[in-house]
Amino acid sequence: MTEPAPRITLRPGELVGLAALVAVFVGLVTLMVTRDLIFSVIVFGATFVLDLITLAMLMLAVTPNKPADGERQPDTKND
């Protein structure tokens, strides 16, 4: 069996990292504005979860192997 490409195995980590980065930014902005640590941690957690759900739904909507409308399928024969 062939191993998946390294790019494919890194994809979930990249999505979680991006969600965490956005959540950290929103949490820090909330902390600087309100100066309430508990509230900023709650906002961080909520933002992280919402970002993960949004990114997961967007990744489900993308089908990388499906050709666009009007495009031909590439020939897979090796003559």
Q: Which two tokens stand for residue 16?
A: 């979680």
Count CB-CB contacts under 10 A for residue 72: 6
How large is the angle between the packed helices 6-34 and 37-61, nearest 10 degrees? 150
Q: Which two tokens stand for residue 51?
A: 């970002």
The yes-or-no verdict on residue 46 having pLDDT over 60 is yes
- pLDDT value, residue 61: 81
Q: Kind and range of the H or E element at 34?
A: helix 6-34
- 2 phi and psi, to 5 degrees? -85, 150
pLDDT > 70: what percent of the chain? 67
